[in-house]
Amino acid sequence: MPFYVSPEQIMKDKADYARKGIARGRSAVVLQYDGGILFVADNMSRTLHKISELYDRIAFAAVGRYNEFENLRLAGVRIADSTGYAYDRRDVTGQALANAYAQHLGTVFTESSKPWEVEIVVAEVGDSADTDQIYRITFDGSVVDERDFVAMGGSAERVTGALRERYDKDASLADALSAAMHALTHENGEQRELEAAGLEVAVLERAREHRKFRRIQGPRLNRLIEQVRGGGGGESEDGGESAEAGDDGAQS
């Protein structure tokens, strides 16, 4: 039996499907702070990451279906490493990676019956806060060049609203984490208490040499959260954090 569905309807159905899929998962936020860019994801797993390093100054954060964004992550690492090897390390840019992801997701969205249920951020830390770049790429391949902060996932709007209340571009790492955690507790309207074990935290640290990406986990994360709970301040600890050697974030 022949039937007709308008292109508008097909696209709308696909978009609704993808949105629903993404909304099932928990949120992630990306925000600038005084030393670079902070990534915080609500993630119970210690090994299946939502936040990863792509290249020297570039990191990736994603929400949605794990196997789909993991494929995107692998592709990003491959594109970055082959570009850096063929040309120079400085020639690998967040913008080129964002474009590659947008191309791919856009094509999948229009050509396949099932769109990918993912939303990702590609962020590149620059030499100064003005040259930081944060790109948000959605399931249909649209790219938005974001300023200051982004929230994505489950109830992105509510999380964004909560983040806007507390956001400060010149905040220390502890204050930025405090704002991010405050925002993430607004998931689905429920007021949850966030624990270190349920958080994935990483930074692109401007002052760091070679590779700027570093995971913050274990005792370091506990200390930082303690500070957040103890009143949100803590400029002093900030310097100590970055001076601490040995546990290289890129390693973990």
Using CB under 8 A, list all residues that contact other proteins: 47, 49, 52-54, 71-72, 74-75, 77-79, 81-86, 96, 100, 103-104, 106-108, 111, 210-211, 245-246, 248, 250-252
- Least distance to other proteins from the beta carbon of 83, Å? 6
Cβ contacts of residue 199 below 8 Å, gap of 6+? 40, 41, 42, 43, 181, 184, 221, 225
- Least distance to other proteins from the beta carbon of 22, Å? 19
Nearer to other proteins, 7 or 246 (CB): 246
Nearer to other proteins, 11 or 129 (CB): 11
Nearer to other proteins, 151 or 216 (CB): 216
Nearer to other proteins, 61 or 181 (CB): 61
Q: Give the number of other CB atoms < 10 A from CB of residue 46.
A: 11
- Least distance to other proteins from the beta carbon of 88, Å? 10
Nearer to other proteins, 38 or 54 (CB): 54
- Least distance to other proteins from the beta carbon of 69, Å? 11
- Least distance to other proteins from the beta carbon of 217, Å? 12
> Is the separation of the CB atoms in 95 and 133 below 8 Å?
yes
Is the backbone of residue 246 left (phi > 0), alpha (psi -120 to 50) or beta? left
Nearer to other proteins, 11 or 23 (CB): 11
Rounded Cα distance, 134 and 2, in Å: 46
Rounded Cα distance, 114 and 46, in Å: 29
- Least distance to other proteins from the beta carbon of 218, Å? 15
